[in-house]
Copies of this chain bind each other. A is one copy, B any other.
Amino acid sequence: MKKLFYILFLLVLVPKSGFAQGSKIDQLLFSTLIESKAYIDKGKVADYIPELSKANKNLVGVALVDSLGNLHTKGDTKSKFTMQSISKVIALMLAVEERGEKYVFERMGYYGTDKPFNSFEALEYRHKPLNPMMNAGAIVTTALIKGKDDEAYKKILERVRYITKNEDININEAVYQSEKETGNRNRGMFYLLKNFGLFDAENEESLNNYFRQCSIEVNAEDLAKIGYFFAHNGTRFDGDKTFYNPEISKLIKSIMLTAGMYDYSGEYSSKIGIPSKSGVGGGIMASVPGKIGIGTFNPSLDEQGNSVPGLYIMEKLSKELNLSIF
């Protein structure tokens, strides 16, 4: 019924409103956005970090940076939300830049998995994380970025600002404090990882940097630009090539495909086929190699921690624009 209503709304009202005017891609983004709203009630807002539970479930936004670097947006693409796991991609980039791929991946695996993002099971038998997209792995990559106190975090923030050319991006202090206070599972993993000698860290500042990077606030447009950046091997949407690096970019896209959507990654790879990374703040950042970047936002999550409307948008765009890499 609800779906029917949206389709009617789309057919009847939209042409009159004039919102969907413009290019074919804008029309597709708009119709997909409208349709995706039917999925809002199929998920729920993350509540394991108290601050996250305050998110507005009804906000939906989709942004796309096309192959020429032009931005297309529909819906709530200016609404801010915290990066959460999407920040893991940036931390991985910096760790590999500073330490080299070999050094980093001696301290974690390249594995896909059926385990949830916060699993610590592998630490018992493997003594290192399965991959850099799970919490355990990202705690290590952040700890491998050089610098005292909050320097690693600042590097991550700077890189996000660079890629998005958005100097307004900043930390959400309330979320950071909330993550820190309730982050005992991550804290537990931090000490286990330290015990296995995966990094030197004098105190919990390194863990705090992980909490901080997760609390960086972006919007869907920023995510689309990040997606574009990796799609074009480190070329910014405006053509700047300061951090151009095909090797690291390919590595990151590969890891995103294998493990970027948590334990849904394998199925997502089959159904959608685009290297993507989601965060429990509600964002999905997708990177179509050599082509476009996509950012979606809606905080209604499924059990794996992925936005349900976000997944719908990604699947629709993948099919309509033939974006699967397979």
Q: A residues bordering B, Cβ < 8 Å?
A: 105, 109-114, 119-126, 130-131, 184-185, 187-195, 249-251, 253-255, 257-259, 263, 265-267, 269-270, 273, 275, 289, 324-326
Q: Which residues on B sit within 8 Å (CB–CB) of A250?
A: 270, 273, 324, 326
A191 touches B195 (CB 8 A): no
Q: Which residues of B contact A259 (CB under 8 A)?
A: 112, 266
Interface of chain A: mostly helix, strand, loop or mixed: helix
B192, A190: Cβ atoms closer than 8 Å? no
- Chain B residues lying within 8 Å of A324, measured Cβ to Cβ, are 250, 254
Contacts A/B (CB < 8 Å), 24 sampled: A105-B267, A109-B266, A109-B267, A110-B266, A111-B114, A112-B112, A112-B113, A112-B259, A112-B266, A113-B113, A120-B192, A125-B125, A184-B194, A185-B195, A187-B191, A188-B193, A188-B194, A251-B270, A254-B269, A254-B326, A255-B266, A257-B269, A257-B326, A258-B266
- Determine the chain B residues whose CB is within 8 A of the CB of A195 once the complex forms: 184-185, 187-188
> A322 vs B105: C-alpha distance in the bound complex, in angstroms?
23
User: Are A110 and B258 CB-contacts (below 8 A) given A120-B124, A188-B188, A191-B185?
Assistant: no
Residue in B130, B185, B192 whose CB lies within 8 Å of A184: B192
If A120-B120, A121-B121, A192-B120 touch, whether A269 touches B184 (CB-CB below 8 Å) is no
- Cβ of A326 and Cβ of B114 under 8 Å apart? no
* Contact between A266 and B131, CB atoms less than 8 A apart: yes
Chain B residues positioned under 8 Å from A189 (CB to CB): 188, 192
Q: Say whether B326 contacts A275, CB under 8 Å.
A: yes
Selected contact of A325 from candidates B111, B265, B266, B326, CB within 8 Å: B326
A325, B192: Cβ atoms under 8 Å? Answer: no
Contact for A191 among B105, B184, B273, CB less than 8 A: B184
Residues of chain B within 8 A of A123, CB atoms compared: 120
Contacts of A184 in B (CB 8 A): 191-192, 194-195
The answer for the CA separation of A109 and B121 in the assembled complex, in Å, is: 19
> A19 to B259, alpha carbons, bound, how many Å?
44
**Interchain nearest-CB distance for A275 vs B (Å):** 7
- Return chain B residues, CB-CB under 8 Å to A266: 109-112, 131, 254-255, 258-259
Which residues of B have CB within 8 Å of A105?
Answer: 267
